[in-house]
A and B are shown apart, each in its own frame.
Chain A
Amino acid sequence: MLTIALPKGRVLEELIPLFARGGYVFPSEWFTSSRKLVFALPEQGFTLFLAKPMDVPTYVEYGVADLGIVGKDVLLEAAREVYELLDLRISPCRLAVAGKPGAEPALYPRVATKYPRIAERYFKERGQQVEVIFLNGSVELAPLTGLAERIVDIVSTGKTLRENGLVELERITEVTARLIANQVSYRLKREAIQTLAERLGKAVEGEVSA
């Protein structure tokens, strides 16, 4: 039996067809019944639960979930000791630095972000001195209100940036959803994990399992 932590929201919608291509069909009430968090699928050998994306690596590191699915952005930010097994190539986006077009460099530059660790590392590696300000969401507000000149955030289509009069300035890294595993489960439940990873791997490559 494998316990898998899945992220609520954006990634989940793309996950269900991917799992289906791998031969794992999830009940349709997933889309409708909103409050339930834990789903037992004994015939597939799974227990699934839904968590905040940022918490998925935590559940996996502490082994309450053997496996998890989460964006690379979260993995970089959370820096947990987990195995990163497979690039699911869904929910593609990028981590980027954005700001108002043509803004003068500030004397005391400030960067607002939901990803303080990634932002700090990125600017440190470039020898730039910035103050990183942590925000819980709606990071685009920061340059509009004057809290910070720039932001570090995920960008997929760029629509949100455009609507707020911001432009992408630098690209930090590409992001897709990943399959991660607890380091002990990776050993003790190797066969089950291997089977799932292989079937999902094929689904990613576009081959449909029977």
Chain B
Amino acid sequence: MEKPREFEKPMGFRDLPPKLAARKRRFEERVHARFSAWGYEEVCTPTLEFFETVGRASAISESRMFKCLDREGHALVLCPDQTAPIARMAASLLKDEPLPLRLCYHARVFRAQEVEAGRQAEWFQSGVELVGLEGPAADAEVMALALDCMRACEVEDFQLAFGHTALLDGFLRERISDESVLEQLKEKLGERDLVGFQEIVNNSPLPQQAKQEVLFLLHVDKGSEGMKELAKRTRSETVLQAVAYLEACRACLEAYGFGEYLVFDPCLVGNLGYYSGVYFEGMGSGQAFPLFSGGRYDRLYERFSKPMPATGFAITLDRLMASGKLEVPETRCVGVLYPPAAMRPAMALAEKLRNEGNRVIAEVWRSERDEARMRRKAKQVLLLDEKGGVRRVDDCSA
């Protein structure tokens, strides 16, 4: 293996220079303010977890995890998501806390990339978990909070698309008994391969009527009409219940004032076998990938021996930063240049200016070149004399 050059980083990892780091902090703080305002408390979990527990419980496929071994030979993973570690914590450390738990996090997650060099392997994620509460009001709460974050970060044209795993599964099951066909159809939807979905349906031995009804899923109206149309065509209690559940979510979100941002899509599929109810994704202009995704995952807590209902979402902060129009306000920067003899008064002046809300850089004056250098960084430069008095003020805002 070639020795890496001194400026290189491992594939998929990147630095945030000051401008980008400031933007990340700004967005994270804005998102956190919303989480906090909705009563969610921040938690932190380790960067490394055991593969056998948290790794296996994760929604992310094993092939995309970074693994290493500890000294005893246990396989460890760099956390590919936060939901599984938080479930571990909630089921152990917080097991005696009154339910529901409203938890949030801002963390790095790691995904080994297979597609190509240069793709990100480390992401900043901010998200919430609402643990121990079932029902549409809980799902609607996290959906509304996700949308509130989009609004707070000034994302334009944002939308939330949502579906329900039991609705899709039930509707297909009413017409298709062959388990392998059922799986294939859901896989195709997961891969967003609508052509493949249609091919399987058309080539199946289903009666014409059933084929048309299954294909109807692809053309369902994106509003509440769509749900009604599906309810009319269904024959099973499961599907009717799922439709009623989504209707209740929608009603809730309308009450929150987010009704206009909702798009119903029965074909929206998250990680199969992980989500157990509502699944949703959010998008906004200026970003070609979903900004957030989430849903109900009631089965996860069984893996930590404490079955509990749970719902939540994760925002991919890197993408939100690219989409949101939120600006990073500039704090005025003042430079103080002082001769060595005036150190004490210079420090006192700097302290006073800092307390007034300025960013203050204080340095010893040695030559004219120090002034020029400082003028490039600060909006205003104060030059002190030997006694600590201001002998000149340079405004550099132009």
| Residues of chain A whose beta carbon lies under 8 Å from any beta carbon of chain B | 61-64, 79-87, 178, 182-185, 187-188, 190
Contact = CB atoms under 8 A, between A and B. Distances in A.
B196 interface: yes
17 contacts: A62-B288, A63-B288, A63-B289, A80-B115, A81-B289, A82-B192, A83-B192, A84-B192, A183-B283, A183-B288, A183-B290, A184-B284, A187-B159, A187-B161, A187-B263, A188-B157, A188-B284
B46 to A, nearest CB: 30
B283 A84 contact: no
Interface of B: 115, 157, 159, 161, 192-196, 198-199, 222, 263, 283-285, 287-290
Nearest to A61: B288
Nearest to A174: B199
A187 B195 contact: no
Contacts of B263: 187, 190
A184 B289 contact: yes
The 3 closest A-B pairs by CB, nearest first: A63-B288, A184-B283, A83-B192
A84 B194 contact: yes
B193 A84 contact: yes
A150 to B, nearest CB: 26
Contacts of B290: 183-184
Contact of B159 (A80, A81, A84, A188): A188
Contact of B288 (A84, A85, A182): A182
Given A61-B288, A187-B283, A190-B222, A81 B195 contact: no
Nearest to A191: B222
Nearest to B219: A194
A63 B287 CA distance: 7
A83 B189 CA distance: 9
Contacts of A80: 115
A74 B149 CA distance: 38
A36 to B, nearest CB: 25
Given A84-B194, A85-B195, A183-B283, 11 more contacts: A79-B115, A80-B115, A82-B192, A84-B193, A85-B194, A86-B194, A87-B195, A183-B288, A184-B288, A185-B288, A187-B159
A183 B157 contact: no
A73 to B, nearest CB: 14
Nearest to B263: A187
Nearest to B218: A85
